[in-house]
Amino acid sequence: MADTIPVLTSAERSRVGMWIRLARCYNLAMRELRGGLRAECTMPQFDVLAQLARTEDGLTFSALSEKLLVTAGNLTGIVDRLEKLELVRRETNPRDRRQIFIRLTPRGREYCAKVIPEHERQIVKLFAGISENDVQNLRQDLDRMAALFEAKAGRP
Protein backbone atom coordinates (compact mmCIF):
# COMPACT_ATOMS: atom_id res chain seq x y z
CA MET A 1 0.00 0.00 0.00
CA ALA A 2 1.48 3.33 -1.06
CA ASP A 3 1.75 6.15 1.41
CA THR A 4 -0.82 8.82 0.80
CA ILE A 5 -0.29 12.48 1.32
CA PRO A 6 -2.65 13.76 3.98
CA VAL A 7 -5.19 16.25 2.76
CA LEU A 8 -4.78 19.61 4.39
CA THR A 9 -7.66 21.69 5.58
CA SER A 10 -8.14 25.14 4.11
CA ALA A 11 -6.67 26.74 7.25
CA GLU A 12 -3.63 24.42 7.10
CA ARG A 13 -3.06 25.20 3.41
CA SER A 14 -3.28 28.88 4.28
CA ARG A 15 -0.48 28.47 6.85
CA VAL A 16 1.69 26.58 4.36
CA GLY A 17 1.07 29.37 1.83
CA MET A 18 1.97 31.97 4.46
CA TRP A 19 5.26 30.16 5.12
CA ILE A 20 6.08 30.01 1.41
CA ARG A 21 5.38 33.74 1.01
CA LEU A 22 7.42 34.59 4.11
CA ALA A 23 10.37 32.50 2.87
CA ARG A 24 10.11 34.02 -0.62
CA CYS A 25 10.11 37.57 0.74
CA TYR A 26 13.06 36.78 3.00
CA ASN A 27 15.05 35.26 0.13
CA LEU A 28 14.29 38.16 -2.21
CA ALA A 29 15.27 40.71 0.44
CA MET A 30 18.46 38.83 1.31
CA ARG A 31 19.45 38.64 -2.36
CA GLU A 32 19.08 42.41 -2.61
CA LEU A 33 20.92 43.13 0.65
CA ARG A 34 23.78 40.70 -0.03
CA GLY A 35 24.53 42.59 -3.24
CA GLY A 36 25.02 45.80 -1.29
CA LEU A 37 27.63 44.46 1.09
CA ARG A 38 31.22 45.00 0.19
CA ALA A 39 32.79 42.17 -1.75
CA GLU A 40 35.04 41.14 1.13
CA CYS A 41 32.18 40.66 3.60
CA THR A 42 29.61 37.87 3.46
CA MET A 43 26.20 38.17 5.14
CA PRO A 44 27.21 35.76 7.97
CA GLN A 45 30.38 37.81 8.53
CA PHE A 46 28.32 41.00 8.54
CA ASP A 47 25.94 39.49 11.11
CA VAL A 48 28.87 38.68 13.42
CA LEU A 49 30.37 42.15 12.98
CA ALA A 50 27.03 43.87 13.60
CA GLN A 51 26.52 41.96 16.86
CA LEU A 52 30.05 42.73 18.02
CA ALA A 53 29.61 46.41 17.13
CA ARG A 54 26.86 46.61 19.75
CA THR A 55 29.24 45.85 22.62
CA GLU A 56 32.55 47.21 23.82
CA ASP A 57 33.37 44.07 25.78
CA GLY A 58 32.95 41.56 22.98
CA LEU A 59 30.98 38.34 23.17
CA THR A 60 31.75 34.72 23.89
CA PHE A 61 31.11 32.17 21.16
CA SER A 62 28.08 30.89 23.08
CA ALA A 63 26.60 34.39 23.56
CA LEU A 64 27.19 35.23 19.91
CA SER A 65 25.68 31.95 18.74
CA GLU A 66 22.59 32.60 20.88
CA LYS A 67 22.13 36.07 19.39
CA LEU A 68 22.59 34.80 15.82
CA LEU A 69 20.62 31.56 16.34
CA VAL A 70 23.49 29.41 15.02
CA THR A 71 25.77 26.90 16.71
CA ALA A 72 29.09 28.03 18.16
CA GLY A 73 30.74 25.52 15.81
CA ASN A 74 29.31 27.36 12.80
CA LEU A 75 30.88 30.57 14.05
CA THR A 76 34.42 29.21 14.21
CA GLY A 77 35.08 29.46 10.46
CA ILE A 78 33.41 32.86 10.21
CA VAL A 79 35.49 34.23 13.09
CA ASP A 80 38.64 32.65 11.60
CA ARG A 81 38.08 34.57 8.34
CA LEU A 82 37.28 37.83 10.15
CA GLU A 83 40.43 37.38 12.21
CA LYS A 84 42.50 36.95 9.03
CA LEU A 85 40.99 40.21 7.77
CA GLU A 86 42.07 41.77 11.10
CA LEU A 87 38.50 42.83 11.86
CA VAL A 88 38.14 40.75 15.05
CA ARG A 89 40.41 39.15 17.62
CA ARG A 90 39.98 36.35 20.13
CA GLU A 91 40.84 37.09 23.76
CA THR A 92 40.96 34.54 26.55
CA ASN A 93 39.31 35.50 29.82
CA PRO A 94 42.21 35.75 32.31
CA ARG A 95 39.92 34.51 35.13
CA ASP A 96 38.62 31.52 33.15
CA ARG A 97 40.97 30.37 30.40
CA ARG A 98 38.20 28.21 28.90
CA GLN A 99 36.21 31.31 28.02
CA ILE A 100 37.13 33.12 24.80
CA PHE A 101 35.75 36.52 23.86
CA ILE A 102 35.52 37.76 20.30
CA ARG A 103 36.09 41.50 20.02
CA LEU A 104 36.26 43.98 17.19
CA THR A 105 39.70 45.36 16.44
CA PRO A 106 40.08 49.10 15.82
CA ARG A 107 40.07 48.25 12.11
CA GLY A 108 36.87 46.23 12.66
CA ARG A 109 35.18 49.17 14.42
CA GLU A 110 36.17 51.46 11.56
CA TYR A 111 34.84 48.97 9.02
CA CYS A 112 31.55 48.61 10.92
CA ALA A 113 31.18 52.39 11.13
CA LYS A 114 31.08 52.44 7.33
CA VAL A 115 29.27 49.22 6.46
CA ILE A 116 26.44 49.19 9.03
CA PRO A 117 25.00 52.61 8.06
CA GLU A 118 25.21 51.61 4.37
CA HIS A 119 23.34 48.39 5.15
CA GLU A 120 20.68 50.27 7.11
CA ARG A 121 20.17 52.67 4.19
CA GLN A 122 19.72 49.65 1.88
CA ILE A 123 17.07 48.22 4.20
CA VAL A 124 15.22 51.54 4.33
CA LYS A 125 15.34 51.76 0.53
CA LEU A 126 14.20 48.14 0.14
CA PHE A 127 11.09 48.73 2.25
CA ALA A 128 10.38 52.27 1.03
CA GLY A 129 7.23 51.21 -0.84
CA ILE A 130 5.50 49.94 2.32
CA SER A 131 3.35 52.37 4.29
CA GLU A 132 4.26 53.19 7.89
CA ASN A 133 0.98 51.67 9.05
CA ASP A 134 1.75 48.41 7.23
CA VAL A 135 5.28 48.39 8.67
CA GLN A 136 3.95 48.75 12.22
CA ASN A 137 1.28 46.07 11.68
CA LEU A 138 3.79 43.67 10.18
CA ARG A 139 6.23 44.27 13.04
CA GLN A 140 3.48 43.47 15.56
CA ASP A 141 2.49 40.33 13.66
CA LEU A 142 6.11 39.16 13.45
CA ASP A 143 6.64 39.86 17.16
CA ARG A 144 3.62 37.68 17.97
CA MET A 145 4.91 34.98 15.65
CA ALA A 146 8.36 35.06 17.26
CA ALA A 147 6.80 34.86 20.75
CA LEU A 148 4.79 31.82 19.65
CA PHE A 149 7.90 30.08 18.33
CA GLU A 150 9.88 30.95 21.48
CA ALA A 151 7.08 29.56 23.66
CA LYS A 152 6.99 26.34 21.60
CA ALA A 153 10.75 26.04 22.08
CA GLY A 154 10.31 26.51 25.84
CA ARG A 155 11.96 29.91 25.96
CA PRO A 156 10.50 32.93 27.77
Q: What is the pLDDT of residues 111-136, one digit of tens each?
A: 999 999 999 999 999 999 999 999 99
pLDDT reading at 71 higher than 90:
no
> How far is residue 151 from each of residues 137, 139, 154, measured CA to CA in Å?
21, 18, 5
pTM exceeds 0.85, yes or no? no
Query: Average pLDDT, whole number, for the chain?
Result: 90
pLDDT tens profile 86-109 = 999 999 888 888 888 999 999 999
Domains of the chain: 10-152 (1.10.10.10)
